[in-house]
């Protein structure tokens, strides 16, 4: 799944390896942009591994943002959430 932030140009592509029981065996990303977008992509991939696709799809903006112990400005929140959008697209688009 690929998502981007049109305001600043950040982009993230998330790839998921899902095993037969629907669990995310591995998650990886590539992207470009600010430190916040790339850091949250890394955090999201770590949080996804070992969990089900349904759990990933159930993640909200707040559950991802709560994974860190600092507050983001509204503009930086958009950067942080690019990866969540990409991961949800990946989870909904299985390929062989």
pLDDT tens track for 67-79: 888 889 988 999 9
Q: In terms of DSSP bridges, do strands 2-4 and 24-32 run parallel, antiparallel, or are they unpaired?
A: unpaired
What's the pLDDT tens digit per position in 26-80? 999 999 999 999 999 999 999 999 999 999 999 999 988 988 888 899 889 999 9
Q: How many CB atoms lie within 10 A of CB 14?
A: 27
- Name residues whose C-beta falls within 8 Å of residue 92's C-beta, 6 or more positions apart in sequence: 1, 57
The pLDDT mean for the chain works out to: 92
Q: Rounded CA gap, 29 and 41, in Å? A: 7
Q: Rounded CA gap, 49 and 18, in Å? A: 9
Enter the pTM of the model. 0.88
User: pLDDT at residue 94 above 80?
Assistant: no
User: pLDDT at residue 96 above 50?
Assistant: no
Beta bridge partners of 33: none
The pLDDT, as a whole number, for residue 70 is 80
């Amino acid at each position: 799944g690929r998502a981007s932030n049109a305001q600043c140009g950040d982009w993230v592509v998330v790839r998921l390896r899902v095993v037969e029981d629907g669990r995310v065996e591995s998650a990886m990303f590539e992207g470009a942009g600010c430190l916040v977008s790339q850091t949250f992509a890394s955090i999201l991939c770590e949080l996804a591994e070992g969990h089900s696709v349904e759990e990933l799809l159930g993640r909200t903006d707040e559950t991802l943002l709560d994974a860190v112990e600092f507050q983001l400005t509204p503009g930086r929140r958009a950067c942080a959430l690019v990866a969540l959008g990409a991961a949800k697209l990946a989870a909904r688009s299985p390929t062989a």
